[in-house]
Structure formats: C-alpha cells, structure tokens
Structure 1
C-alpha cells in the first residue's frame, strides 16, 4: 500500500493528495470525485501524512498502514456511523493491541472514513516505494555528508578606516530649571 503523499488537513474533511510544495506550504487535491484544489499554508494548517500516523498501543504504537492491511482482509467492516461498542469490537480485531483508553470512538470513525475513501483507489493496492539498498548509494551519500561536514573557510571582513565622530557640543542648560 502506497500512502506517500496522502495527507489529512486539520479542519478539512476527507483526505488530500500533495501535488507540489512551494515555499509557504503545499498545493493539495482532494481525493473525492470533485478533485477540489487547496493551498495549505504551513504556518496556519496542520498536515498529517498517513504513512507516518500511528495509533496508541499497549506496548508500542501501531502503524496506520498495518491497520489498513488488516482492514482489507476483515470480513465485516462497520459503518462510520456505528456506535462505539461496534467500533471497539472491530478495532479489537484489526488492532488487537491498541490502547482502549487513548483511542476514542471519534478516532476509530476517522480511520474507518479514511479506509472507505482509500479502499477503491489504485494507490491502495500498489506497493510502497522501497528504500535504497545498502551498498554503493549509501557509501556515496556518506562521502557527500562527510564533505559537507567540513567547515567552510570564512572570508575575513575588510577593515575600513574608523568612522569620524562628530564633536560633542554641550548645549546650554535650560534657565527655567534649577540644576
């Protein structure tokens, strides 16, 4: 499953695909049928990439990607408008070690909503891009990092002649004030 580039924007319903990044934020496109465009300013909008989201677990956090994989194979997926007990029972199947005190019904509804948006998309069934293999590329990267770590020579500032200062002039005291 390839969730890279898919984000959730706080305050906006649904999921968005990041098209391009500019210096102030991202240009996003909604994943619904309308294909609405949105410019998300990073100083005001909060973006959450789906491939980095985790769910609170008892021992360690559970990746959202793993929960989606289990949801693909689940037989009966409840509706997003189902009550909390049905949602909790379903989440015990797909995320058995989730922390029931920290994962609320609203969180489960949001995850189910995201799943219903993504399940029919081609990106949901394609493989995620793999990290570069160890070997030649990492050695080249290490060499370039070492070269970047060297301190750059600092250019000395040219010293200029000292600035001429204006002579100090003592102003007469105000005669109305007693000094």
Structure 2
C-alpha cells in the first residue's frame, strides 16, 4: 500500500493528494470523483500526512499504514464510519487488539474507517511503497563502505613496508 503524498486537511472532509507547491502554499487534489484542486496555506490550515500518523497502542505506537494493512486482510465486512460507536469500537478491537482504548477516541476510529473506504478503491491501494530516501541513502553508504574496504585491501596488498630511517640529532656546543 502506497500512502505517500496523501494528506488530510483540517476543516476539509476527505483525503487529498499532494500535487505541488507554490508561493502561497501546497496544491492539493481531492481523491473523490470531483478531483477538486485547491491551494492550502499553512498559516490557515493544518495538513496531516497519512504516512506520519500513528495510533496509540499498549507497547508501541503503530503506523496508520499498518492499520490499513490489517483492515485490508480483515475477513469480515468493514462497518461504515456512520455506524454506532460500540460497533466501531468492536471492529477496531478486532483489527488492532492492542490499541489503547483510553487514548484512541471513537472520532479517530471514524476517521480511519472513512479514510480506508476512500483509498480502498484507488490503484495505489495495491501499489507497492517506493523505496524511501533513507533506504536509498543506506544502500549508497553500504556500497561506498564496501568499495573503500576493497580499495584499502588492494593498497595493502600492493605496498610493502620499508624500514624507517633513523634520525640522529647532533648537539652543538
């Protein structure tokens, strides 16, 4: 699942895809059928990248992407975001049994279910996540380290140590 570039905007329903940036803010495109484009100014609105959202759990927080993956393989039908709070809580307890029930509110569960219903119809739902920059950088660092090791091994094999000449200092009276 590739949720890179998907954002939620405070005060706006639905999800948006980050298209670009200009002087006044970010250019977003709606993921609904209308494909509405809008410019969001960061001084007046808050953007939340789905990639950065985590859910409180007992041991450690879980990424939203992992929650979506669990919902994807869930065997029963996923309830609507308009269902009763008890139904949504029971569903979320099945999908994420270790979530912190005190800190994860019903409104959060409604948002997650709503977002899932939006993105499950998109092609990026089945798309693999591209390699991140940190993964690419780690690969580059590993390759550089390997080449440096190979070069130093080759240099050691080619060079032989010569005995150092002794220096004597003459004293002047």
Distance 1:135 1:12, change over 3 A: closer
The unaligned stretches of length 5 or more in structure 1 are: 141-179
Quote the residue 1:38 is aligned against.
Answer: 38
Aligned residues: 140
1:139-154 alignment runs, 5 A limit = none
Distance 1:135 1:107, change over 3 A: closer
Instruction: State the shift of 1:95 in Å.
Output: 1.1
Structure number with the higher helix fraction is: 2
Q: Distance in 1 between matches of 2:81 and 2:139?
A: 46
Quote the residue 1:148 is aligned against.
Answer: none
Q: Distance in 1 between matches of 2:95 and 2:60?
A: 15
Q: Distance in 2 between matches of 1:96 and 1:2?
A: 24
Quote the residue 2:110 is aligned against.
Answer: 109
Could you tell me the TM-score, scaled by structure 1's length? Answer: 0.74
Instruction: State the shift of 1:115 in Å.
Output: 0.3
Q: Distance in 1 between matches of 2:59 and 2:24?
A: 38
Would you say the 8 A contact 1:62–1:95 is kept in 2? no
Superposed CA RMSD: 1.6
Q: Distance in 2 between matches of 1:86 and 1:45?
A: 32
Could you tell me the TM-score, scaled by structure 2's length? Answer: 0.76
The unaligned stretches of length 5 or more in structure 2 are: 145-173
Instruction: State the shift of 1:106 in Å.
Output: 0.9
Would you say the 8 A contact 1:20–1:26 is kept in 2? yes
Instruction: State the shift of 1:134 in Å.
Output: 3.0
Partner of 2:130: helix, strand, or coil? coil
Instruction: State the shift of 1:14 in Å.
Output: 0.1
